[in-house]
Amino acid sequence: MSPTATSRPVATAPPLPSPAPSARDPFFDNAKYLAIVLVAVGHAWEPLTHTSRTALALYLTVFTFHMPAFILMSGYFSRGFDFTPAKIKRLVTGVAVPYLVFQTGYILFQHWAEDDAPPDPFTLTNPWYLNWFLAALFVWRLTTPVWQVLRWPVPIAFAISIGAMVAPHTGPDFDLMRVLQFLPFFVIGLRMKPEHFALVQKRWVRIAAVPVFACAIAVAWFLAPRIDSGWFYRNDSVQDLHQPLWTAPVMGLALFGCAAVLTAGFFAWVPRRRTWFTALGAGTISGFLLHGFVIKMSRWWGWYDAAAWVRQPVGMVVVTALAVIMITVLCTAPVRRVLRFALEPRMTWAFRPSAP
């Protein structure tokens, strides 16, 4: 079985490293929590998309923008990355170590939980399921100084992205196809400033976002039976999707335009003030990585086939509510404390004393 195999492949991302506690902005904590809720809900909807056109339309709408939103924030918070000891230490403890821990944990979990499939081979270079984003973030962040000195970083990133779409032999190591296809959103995030986020918070943008999302859902409902959802995951070339080469720039730019509009609409409705869920934004990485175990169990153990009503409209409401509750609990402070050894290790023993 493929490490990322489900009934329909998913491309999603973990939450992003946060600024220092003294510099925390409620807006970004709110955005991370709301985005991780969309991630969990999208994963919970996926089995329902095979029998419900409405579920598929909502699913495709969410997958159009939640990855770009996460990656854009990732680039924004990577603006100050350089090769100083402190930044390298944070990259190792905040990205590389969680990748290694959860890569091991996911594969061992698959060996234990999925009885009707052969055990996946243990590998550190082929990210398993949700772990692909940690691998991508590690690569993107290492290249940050390069993008910071280029004169035209965004056009170059787009050229690389389109080039990846016509390169079917790009290997699975570190999910390089997704790393390259999603690269423009990270580079755009590197170029963004606080005033850009303030711009989408204007009242007229918030009002316009409502009909825009309604229109997006309607278009997704129309296209649902006609479009290959593989376009939204960015892990296949156009040849893999059985499309001609000219579709690479056309679909690449079309998906980018849709993602940009919906991402702006998403940020427009993110509260800037502190709310009851603001504190949960600091724990979204634990929620993201842990909910993958629950999602996989729901597929392997046939939870969606337990009763006929699960695939009815009432089932979608129940599944959505349970997904929101699950991800909220997994983002709480007690869960973060339990996972601190894996997600926020100090590892003073691993670094030279000269490293701050």
H or E element that contains 197: helix 194-199
Give 342's contacts (C-beta < 8 A, 6+ positions apart). Answer: 97, 98, 101, 102
Rg of the chain on CA atoms, in Å = 20
CB count, 10 Å around CB of 329?
A: 14
- Whether residue 186 contacts residue 71, with contact meaning beta carbons closer than 8 Å, is answered with yes
* pLDDT at residue 67, as a whole number: 84
Q: Which helix (H) or strand (E) holds 44?
A: helix 26-45
pLDDT digits (tens, 9 = 90+) for 186-216: 999 999 999 999 999 999 999 999 999 999 9
93 to 37, 98, 126, 345: CA distances (angstroms): 25, 7, 20, 6
pLDDT (0 to 100) of residue 21:
41
Per-residue pLDDT band for 100 (boundaries 50, 70, 90) equals very high
Distance of CA 90 to the CA centre of its chain: 20
Can you tell me the distance from the alpha carbon of 189 to that of 141, in angstroms, rounded to the nearest whole number? 12
The pLDDT mean for the chain works out to 89
What is the rounded distance in angstroms from the CA atom of residue 327 to the CA atom of residue 324?
5
> 274-286: per-residue pLDDT in tens?
999 999 998 888 9
CB atoms within 10 A of CB 182: 27
CA distances from 270 to 28, 40, 203, 206, 311 (A): 8, 18, 12, 10, 31
CA distance 120 to 130: 15
Angstrom distance (rounded) from CA 226 to CA 269: 30
User: pLDDT tens digits for 8-62?
Assistant: 444 454 555 444 444 688 999 999 999 999 999 999 999 999 999 999 999 999 9
